[in-house]
Copies of this chain bind each other. A is one copy, B any other.
Amino acid sequence: MPGMPDQPALTLYGFWRSMAAYRVRVALALKGLAAEEIALDLDAGDQFAPDFLALNPEGAVPALVGPGRPPLTQSMAILEYLEERYPDPPLLPADLYGRARVRSLAALIVSDTHPLIVPRVREYLAETAGFDEAALNAWRAHWVGRGLTAMEARLAGSPETGVFCHGDAVTFADICLGNLGVAAHTVGFDLGQVPTVARIIATCREIDAFAKAHPMRQRGAPPAAA
């Protein structure tokens, strides 16, 4: 993808498995923006290397870097920035309630679900609380399942749910839900339990921007299982 002719050169610091980097990848692609991705290895602690800490003192991906300005960090702050800077195509509805609903659906995933399953939390549980692989997997499956079930409860009962989470256009909420769909697959969650969620995830998967952002298609990903 060539990107928009007048766009500044963008560099995305990511990690193949990062849900937050996935969200930025999808949003960039939907906006028609090209970015070179630099693959950190969070398992190896690349996020704590001095060069990266100079970009993001929090030591977390993603970071989106452009010429002549400080790095942008935190996936949803980056999405909001992209929406304000490159409004077309929009990834938020035009009306205030619609925007609030989309941001709330996104937050259910970005705030209530994803932070529980990031590497730093798994490390704490393994090192401090003695969680073994089975306990870690149960932990991850629990929170991913809770997120999917809560999304289903919100989406299935709402007249505002359409082809996508909010009406018939892709929004922040779909980017986050597509993201959670990847995690659902990882933990073996049966999407038959959440039919509205499953339908929207399947629809998103057909869109090139989502497909190309998939963790298994990123540099650093392990070879796909046969």
| 19 contacting pairs across A/B (C-beta < 8 A) | A53-B153, A57-B153, A58-B112, A58-B150, A70-B97, A73-B104, A76-B107, A77-B100, A77-B107, A81-B100, A81-B103, A84-B99, A111-B114, A111-B115, A115-B115, A128-B138, A128-B142, A129-B131, A129-B135
Q: Are B116 and A74 in contact (CB under 8 A)?
A: no
Distance of A104 Cα from B114 Cα, bound (Å): 16
Distance of A139 Cα from B131 Cα, bound (Å): 14
A69: chain B residues within 8 A (beta carbon): 97
Q: Flag whether A26 is at the interface (Cβ < 8 A).
A: no
Q: Chain B's nearest CB lies how many Å from the CB of A46? A: 17
A84: chain B residues within 8 A (beta carbon): 96, 99
Contact with B along A143-177 (1 / 0, CB 8 A): 00010001001100110100000000000000000
Number of copies: 2
Q: Flag whether A32 is at the interface (Cβ < 8 A).
A: no
Q: Flag whether A80 is at the interface (Cβ < 8 A).
A: yes
A77: chain B residues within 8 A (beta carbon): 100-101, 103-104, 106-107
| Cβ 8 A contact of A72, one of B73, B104, B153 | B104
Q: Chain B's nearest CB lies how many Å from the CB of A8? A: 13
Residues of chain A in range 41-63 having any CB-CB distance to chain B below 8 Å? 53, 57-60
With both beta carbons as reference points, the residue of chain B lying nearest to A115 in the complex is identified as: B115
A158: chain B residues within 8 A (beta carbon): 70
With both beta carbons as reference points, the residue of chain B lying nearest to A101 in the complex is identified as: B70
Contacts A70-B158, A74-B107, A77-B103 aside, 18 further interface pairs with beta carbons under 8 A come to A57-B150, A57-B154, A57-B157, A58-B112, A58-B150, A58-B154, A70-B101, A72-B97, A74-B104, A74-B111, A75-B107, A77-B106, A78-B104, A80-B100, A81-B96, A81-B97, A120-B146, A129-B135
